[in-house]
Structure 1
Amino acid sequence: MDTQIPIGQPAPGFTLPDLAGKSHSLVEARGRIAIVNFWSAECGWCERTDAQLLALTQSWEGVATLLPIASNVNESPALLARAAGKRGLPFVLIDAEHQVADLYSAQTTPQLFVIDREGILRYQGAFDDMTFRQRTPTQNYLQMAVEALLAGRQPDPAQTLSHGCSIVRYIP
């Protein structure tokens, strides 16, 4: 779980159900840039970035796909549905046993993984450079990564430290 996927390597494939039971897989995004976002209904960091994330992905319609993944064992389907509906997310993928979070070594929400059109991991980390100390973001890492790929360049930075809420894998 603590071994990160190297930038420039193929992203691990996965198939997960959404709240309605429909399966979605990473391979379906092939040919577009995939934005895998480990997401939480209760995390304030996710709530802060969701509107911006949706606006960006809508501006990249047809060239980028957002795959929000809920991996927290303490968030019920009803809670996820309410939060997703309130924030305008078209769907949320359910990683009930956090297998995909483990596969990607995801630790926080939000934590983003940008995968190019050929299925290669090109960026992983934070949405932007806001931290607990720096309260006003000055760089949007996700936007920089996707725009670099659209321009035929490698994202720089390709990896950042994600800040947010810990993914809850177990409840004692």
Structure 2
Amino acid sequence: MKRLLILWIGLGLLSALSACQGDSAGNVKGTVLRGQLEGADDMQINLDRVYIGRANQSLDATTSDGKGAFSFSYPDGLEPGIYKLRVGTKSIVLVLDDTHNKLIEIKGALPDLSDPKKLEITGSPATQEYNEMLSRLIARTAKVDDISAFIDSAQSPLAAAYIAYQALGREGTYLPMQRKALDRLRGAGEGLADYVLAYDGYLTQLETAYQQKKAQEPIQVGMEAPDISMPNPQGKMMSLSDLRGKIVLLDFWASWCGPCRRENPNVVAVYKKYKDKGFTVFSVSLDGVDARTKARLKSQEQIDQMIAQGKQRWMDAIQKDGLEWPYHVSDLKKWDNAAARQYGVRSIPRAFLIDRDGKIASTSVRGAEQLEQEILKLLNK
């Protein structure tokens, strides 16, 4: 009887061990996605398949238990792709470029779905790579060149493509970067063919809209750059035409423009590198007060005070951002800035590149990499 009891115990332990091994990552068949979220007790958990430039597809749903635990199991495996886990109003993106016999686990609290850094996610290196870059974008510490570098170097072409799509959006200036992300995605294998098709279609539509918009703009490549004459912070008149013979970046910006301030380090770096080779910057600030703002103010004294404050912020930003070139001008009329209207500037930052003959060489340059490439083309002409 004692030997029989020992045998039963041994079989029980073996069975328990086998069950534990069945739950481990090494013994998963297909794809298993499971997790435990504190505060998500007895809630519906939704799983969507996410596409680039196309509507999401609702894939599956389950209900968590009383401790916020849940599980999705696909014995035949999920298709590689981008997925979104939704719990109430919270959600998190999962980039799964390898779903063969994979266990993906998520642990944390329900509010942490809004901040992936606080979640513990295992089994998906591509998701971790994506979340690291996403956190930088949310914190606004990633610049355009950082996004470009991520597109080039990310281990997961799918993560690179989705970051490009999210971060660069419908800004036509960045189409070359998005095309680069698409090329990497295209080379990742047939398993992502539906993503390649969707992304390519999205970029084709974006390219068409961008070209139509450019065709309607007053400034076109090859035309003579309209002259600009405005005062600098000290009141001295400065003219764009005085820089004939140099390669000039005509940069529209403002001290109150966050994206402009984040772009400034790129401009500074390129200026320092090429200033001795015939390159300079002519900056037009959209600080100050426009007619719309003036209409809300009660007196000329208030208007004058706001203009003075805008001018001071402009001067402070020049110093703080290290904009060391001497060509800084503004009429302190914000969106009513005469040069901005003349050049069709409706959003900032906006930059034009002008060649040595005073002709427009590019109507949209952003980021140190793109700017440097365009400057080198002109230097080598």
| TM-score normalised per structure 1 | 0.75
Match of 2:190 in 1: none
- Corresponding residue number in structure 2 for 1:71: 286
1:16 to 223, 230, 244: 230
SS in 1 for 2:363: strand
Select the structure that is richer in helix.
Answer: 2
| Partner-residue secondary structure (3-state), 2:233 | coil
Unaligned runs of 5+ in 1: 129-138, 153-172
Measure the CA separation in 1 of the matches of 2:228 and 2:379. 24
Structure 2 counterpart of 1:7, one-letter code: V
- CA change 1:107–1:126 in 2 (3 A) is farther
Tell me which residue corresponds to 2:354: 115
Q: Does 1:95 align with 2:331?
A: yes
Contact 1:95 1:101 in 2 (8 A): no
Q: Is the 8 A contact 2:253 2:260 kept in 1?
A: yes
Q: Which residue of 1 aligns with 2:379?
A: 150
1:125 is aligned to 2:364: yes
For residue 19 of structure 1, give the secondary structure of its aligned residue in structure 2: coil
The answer to whether the 8 A contact 2:256-2:287 is kept is no
Deviations 1:53-87 (A, max 9, x none): 01101211131110111124447101111111111
Q: Counterpart in 2 of 1:85?
A: 319
90-99 or 112-121: bigger deviation: 90-99
Structure 1 residue 3: deviation in Å? 3.2
Higher Rg? 2
* 2:270 equivalent among 56, 59, 69: 56
Letter of the 1:108 counterpart? S
RMSD: 1.8
Query: Over residues 115-150 of structure 1, what are the superposed CA-to-partner deviations in whole Å (9 max), with x where a residue is unaligned?
Result: 00000001011413xxxxxxxxxx832222111111
Q: What residue number does 1:141 align with?
A: 370
Q: Is the 8 A contact 1:112 1:126 kept in 2?
A: yes
CA contact (8 A) 1:43 1:109 kept: yes
Q: Give the structure 1 partner of residue 260 of structure 2.
A: 46
Q: How many residue pairs get matched? A: 141
Query: Which amino acid letter does the alignment assign opposite residue 147 of structure 1?
Result: L
* Alpha-carbon shift at residue 95 of structure 1 (Å): 3.2
Tell me if structure 2 keeps the 8 A contact 1:37–1:66: yes
Deviation at 1:4, TM superposition (A): 2.5
Query: In the alignment, is the contact (CA less than 8 A) between 2:288 and 2:332 conserved in 1?
Result: yes
Partner of 1:21: helix, strand, or coil? coil
State the structure with bigger RCO (CA 8 A, min sep 6), 1 or 2: 1
- Percentage of matched positions with identical amino acids: 26
Q: Is the 8 A contact 1:110 1:126 kept in 2?
A: no
Q: Which runs of 5+ in 2 are unaligned?
A: 1-215, 290-306
Runs of 4+ with deviation above 4 angstroms = none
TM-score between the two structures when normalised by the length of structure 2: 0.35
